[in-house]
Amino acid sequence: MGRRTPVDDRTGRRIVPDTARRADRPADRHSGNRYGNRPTMKDVAARAGVGLKTVSRVVNGEPGVTPDTERRVQEAIEALGFRRNDSARVLRKGRTASIGLVLEDLADPFYGPLSRAVEEVARAHGALLINGSSAEDPEREQELVLALCARRVDGLVVIPAGDDHRYLAPEIKAGVATVFVDRPAGKIDADVVLSDSFGGARDGVAHLIANGHRRIGFIGDMPRIHTAAERLRGYRTAMEDAGISVEDSWMSLGVTDPERVRRATEEMLAGPAPVTAIFAGNNRVTVTVVRVLAEHSRPVALVGFDDFELADLLKPGVTVVAQDAAALGRTAAERLFRQLDGSLISPERIELPTQLISRGSGELPPAD
């Protein structure tokens, strides 16, 4: 960038186009851990061969620097990937701190309590929460994340749609705190907070087996989604542990829109050897299966992953493997602010337990 790089006078942060930021700061440029070892103004001054005050003038857009000196400082800033750590300065400067939350579906009730928990932690730290949705589209996720970074959020909580997050490495290096939740990050080293999808699904299916079922169907989301793959693995493991060989017709994986789930459920319930129980891979699947079973003559057992509103008031009540969505959000947000205050040294993977809640549908015996 030949000409003057603009500076936000509320934060002193240089505004660099996403493209330039991605290009100028490959992930592997810096050594040391993510949260420490960020280049300082001193490093910039040393590399540019100028005084600290000169660097400060350029960064803050103050006059009194010759174009040539400014260019040298800018080159050093870009070569080092220097960026003001605003998360700390924000409150001093009076600008409201903000963190971004990237969801995959604004209309999925599972994210309601998760979002509100993140918001409550943000508020407790005097920060605003800004949300966005990837609509399960990896490109959209990247576009949204980088747009939030360009809008100077101090940190990001991301429920990823994609499985390659190397595009985020430069932002993380540049000081944007980042925690992934519900699903892990792909191809970068990042904080991750998950539910035990594998163990929860295994327990739920084992519960159906314990109630006498052997022909158990599994209806889940696209296997490219980490949680969907893990829950399928839990299903397979529970069946294998019980010595039951799974038939392909018992498994349906794909988008969880009502039409597909309805068709899949009806197929599993048709034919000479229908399933006697169904394990639903998420709350969207479960509510559709509940609808189909309500129209079905023969009772069919059901356990769903994720709790949902009114599950206990249906007849029978729906047995679920409950995740603590609020705890996922709270844990992720608290780690985010620990990154921002510098008290975290390196990324961790945290897995929260699930809880089987028996309400009747999962305790129905096989119909035949």
Binding-site member from 177, 179, 181, 290 for a second copy (CB under 8 A):
290
By beta-carbon proximity to a second copy, the closer residue of 112 and 138 is 112
Judged on CB neighbours under 10 Å (0-12, 13-18, 19+), 362 is buried
Binding-site member from 67, 212, 258, 342 for a second copy (CB under 8 A):
67
- What order of strands is seen across the sheet that includes strand 216-220? 251-253, 216-220, 277-280, 301-305, 319-322, 355-357
Q: CB of residue 101 vs a second copy: minimum separation in angstroms?
A: 9
- Tokens 């940190």 correspond to 155
Nearest partner of 300 among 318, 320, 276, judged by Cα: 276
Q: CB of residue 25 vs a second copy: minimum separation in angstroms?
A: 17
By beta-carbon proximity to a second copy, the closer residue of 323 and 344 is 323
Q: How far apart are CA 313 and CA 236, in angstroms?
A: 30
Q: CB of residue 290 vs a second copy: minimum separation in angstroms?
A: 7
By beta-carbon proximity to a second copy, the closer residue of 133 and 206 is 133
Helices (H), 49-161: 52-59, 67-80, 86-93, 111-124, 138-150
Binding-site member from 113, 138, 186, 366 for a second copy (CB under 8 A):
113
DSSP for 157-190 reads: EE--SSS--GGGHHHHHTT-EEEEESS--SSS--
Say whether residue 261 binds a second copy (CB under 8 A): no
User: Is the CB of residue 253 less than 8 Å from the CB of residue 247?
Assistant: no
User: Is the CB of residue 111 less than 8 Å from the CB of residue 105?
Assistant: yes
Say whether residue 123 binds a second copy (CB under 8 A): yes
Q: Are strands 191-195 and 216-220 parallel, antiparallel or unpaired?
A: unpaired
By beta-carbon proximity to a second copy, the closer residue of 152 and 236 is 152
Binding-site member from 112, 223, 299, 360 for a second copy (CB under 8 A):
112
Say whether residue 144 binds a second copy (CB under 8 A): yes
By beta-carbon proximity to a second copy, the closer residue of 97 and 205 is 97
CA dihedral 202, 333, 223, 135 (to 10 degrees): 140
Spell out the residues 6+ positions from residue 279 whose beta carbon is closer than 8 angstroms to its own.
201, 204, 205, 208, 216, 217, 218, 219, 235, 302, 303, 304, 305
Binding-site member from 48, 181, 275, 287 for a second copy (CB under 8 A):
287
Amino acid at 104: E
Q: CB of residue 106 vs a second copy: minimum separation in angstroms?
A: 4
Only one of the segments 43-51, 127-135, 180-188, 199-207 lies at the binding site for a second copy (rule: CB under 8 A); that segment is 127-135
Q: How far apart are CA 255 and CA 268, in angstroms?
A: 17
Binding-site member from 23, 62, 341, 355 for a second copy (CB under 8 A):
62
Spell out the residues 6+ positions from residue 49 whose beta carbon is closer than 8 angstroms to its own.
72
x/- site string to a second copy, residues 306 to 345, per CB under 8 A? --xxx--xxx------------------------------
Say whether residue 6 binds a second copy (CB under 8 A): yes
By beta-carbon proximity to a second copy, the closer residue of 242 and 322 is 322
Q: How far apart are CA 290 and CA 121, in angstroms?
A: 35
How many positions of this chain bind a second copy (CB under 8 A)? 54
By beta-carbon proximity to a second copy, the closer residue of 199 and 317 is 317
Residues at the site binding a second copy, with contacts judged by CB under 8 A: 1, 3-10, 15, 17, 61-63, 67, 95-96, 98, 105-109, 112-113, 115-116, 119, 123, 128-133, 135, 140, 143-144, 147-148, 150-152, 287, 290-291, 294, 308-310, 313-315
